[in-house]
Copies of this chain bind each other. A is one copy, B any other.
Amino acid sequence: MYAARRERLRERCAAGGSAAALVSRPANVRYLAGAAPHGAVLLLGRDTDLLLHAGPLAGRPENERPDESLPTQVLPGTDGDPAVAAADLAASHGVDSLALEEHHLTVARHRAIGSVAPRLRLTDLGGAVEQLRLVKDEEEIGCLRIAAEIADQALSELLESILVGRTERHLALELERRLVDHGADGPAFPTSVGTGPNSGRGGHRPTDRRVEEGDFLSVCLGAAYRGYCCEIGRTFVIGTSPAEWQIELYDLVFAAQRAGREALAPGAACRDVDRAVRQVLDSAGYAEGLPHLTGHGVGLENDEDPQLAPSAMGKLDACVPVTVEPGVHLPGRGGVRIDDTLVVRPEADGGPELLTITTKELLAL
């Protein structure tokens, strides 16, 4: 599998006129090599590949061992930069041009590579690996499904516990503990818990504010499983019955999120999915202060291409997992955020596959 991915990249490089490529961005190395030990780089040669890294692999979880079929070279100590060592090696094997990830390598590392191999022509690999990563295979989607189950479980267990009086920080920590209990590598990103005036705010960092009766409580968490990140966000009401404004705001955000989910289809323009979400919110007078994104791709990184935004280019493909996560925050009052991870599927296969299945009814806890 990893060898096949490397083969696809090799073809792209050849087409781009580069004899060899050096992959340094960790998620890209992991995608092509099966694991990315700290600082590891992957050298993709004309017919042989090599993983170079500093420090031993010992003690890593099974699912973090690199592809057995991939030769590995460990650099002594942690002095050397594996990227520089790889370029040196390529040059010494008569490679004349090397494509680098200029969106990841620093200017200083790029210069060090140039000076160790002055006759090597350095080109830009650009986002070639990110492009390969866009459409997921069934094994990757399988990992995303498990990550989603884990996040759903952690969230459902939290809802069964007493919430009033507990702080945002403690709720976030408990969610992260439960993610690991259920087999996650760890949280896919820092868990966000917002109560009262903090609710509905995207990327809110948990504070010491305690949950109170009548609050909105919004939670956004993600599980990483074998490196694959899945995200879910829900908003609840604390106490017996939600207030009128809470019901109205919730119904609005729910409608916007549903519009986005229903717009997901192979061939749909990313900006059209974003527009479907925004139109619902705009029509209710919430055009201002909306988040820049209404969704994004997930995979080996929690926030990867495609972006669902007004400025986004490109179209969706089948087997591309994305989030749909509109939110509205009213300063001083709080707000609502609803976030699902779905896999784009053709109509014939039943349309978008919802991975995060926790109910989106407005629950009063």
| Bound CA–CA A170/B110 (angstroms) | 41
Interface size, chain A (Cβ < 8 Å): 33
- Segment among A86-94, A198-206, A240-248 that sits at the interface with chain B: A198-206
Which residues 91-125 of A have a CB within 8 angstroms of B? 100, 102-108, 110-111, 124
Within 8 A of B (CB), among A50-95: 55, 58-61, 77-79
Partner of A59, one of B79, B176, B201: B201
CB-CB under 8 A from A111, the residues of chain B are: 102
Max chain B Cβ within 10 angstroms of own Cβ: one of A61, A106, A110: A106
- Distance A210 CA – B78 CA, assembled complex (angstroms): 31
B107 touches A198 (CB 8 A): no
Q: Are B59 and A292 in contact (CB under 8 A)?
A: no
A207 part of interface (Cβ distance < 8 Å): yes
A258 at the interface (CB under 8 A from B): no
A interface, by DSSP: helix, strand, loop or mixed?
A: loop
**For the complex, is A5 an interface residue (Cβ under 8 Å from B)?**
no
Asked whether B107 lies within 8 Å of A59 as measured between CB atoms, the reply is no
Q: Is A46 engaged at the interface, CB distance under 8 Å to the other chain?
A: no
Tell me the A residues contacting B by CB distance below 8 Å: 55, 58-61, 77-79, 100, 102-108, 110-111, 124, 169-170, 173, 176-177, 180, 198, 201, 204-205, 207, 292-293, 311
29 contacts between A and B (CB under 8 A): A55-B292, A58-B201, A59-B198, A59-B204, A59-B205, A60-B205, A77-B292, A77-B311, A78-B292, A78-B293, A79-B292, A102-B106, A102-B107, A102-B108, A103-B106, A103-B107, A103-B108, A105-B106, A106-B106, A106-B107, A107-B107, A107-B110, A107-B124, A108-B124, A170-B180, A173-B176, A173-B177, A173-B180, A177-B177
